[in-house]
Structure 1
């Protein structure tokens, strides 16, 4: 498959920046801890679904200490509408306890420490490192994986390959917001089944052969 050139990639991000200068995560949170929990809960769930669950969860357990006090069964009662809620509840309580025991109840500004938390993988750590600490990371979810491959921006057979490709090819000036632009593009325009090519701001730059006409 043809790849986008570096000039085309720069132009794509220029256009996205003009449309939405400061894109934000659609998860609702009031602290780094709440963002971490929300991202853990978002695995195989929509942001809308997570926000509905955390609206009540964060009212009763906004901090690691209160989450541990709520307990696994208590967490389950708030997140039962989400997929994998049993494992997620156990992970949220366990990671909260680990934050208390090892990090003074604070979210660590360290990839290895984040990935050592129960239920936290590379993608979740990347989201926290980017959104909370402003690090130029690329959290490759299903949307970014699809966009990276379909557009020719950073083709790869694995999420890590797409991540590495994007980190190499996206100009540094766009990295603070790059993963949000890509996620939003994949979520609302470059959708999985029938991409909305006529609405696409980078249609002329994209290498996807089977562009839709209507």
Structure 2
């Protein structure tokens, strides 16, 4: 098991900022693409703070995704499906990593594979839950915004109604005052 960790540790990884700069895209676009690939079963390494770490293989995949979506104008969903279906599935990638660490015994390698698969599944569930929370938050935010706009519209209407009523009262009072002055001057009854 130590050999697998050493093998992964020796592989050069890139930060999201480095990959975004390399591809000529924004960091938010890279996050969006990465989440889309993960939703379709692709797996990225994570650091201790749960940030994605991109290997050279991942950079190549993202460059291919870029070419499919930008140059060949494939929809992002289709491009992600194409890429994931052409890549080795997660268990096969894990088997390859385990096989490269030859001194590992067969029972340990299967346990390691199970643990890696369980970890990847857990990360995928966390990503899905996170995405659902974001969508829920966006819906609530839109609901609040629309309610605030409606409240502001109602307040403005109420204020306009109050101003109209005050103007009408002022007119009525002015007419009364004028009428009373004429009555006093000419003593009309």
More strand by share: 2
More helix by share: 2
Q: Normalized against structure 1, the TM-score is what?
A: 0.24
Q: Larger Rg: 1 or 2? A: 2
Q: Normalized against structure 2, the TM-score is what?
A: 0.26
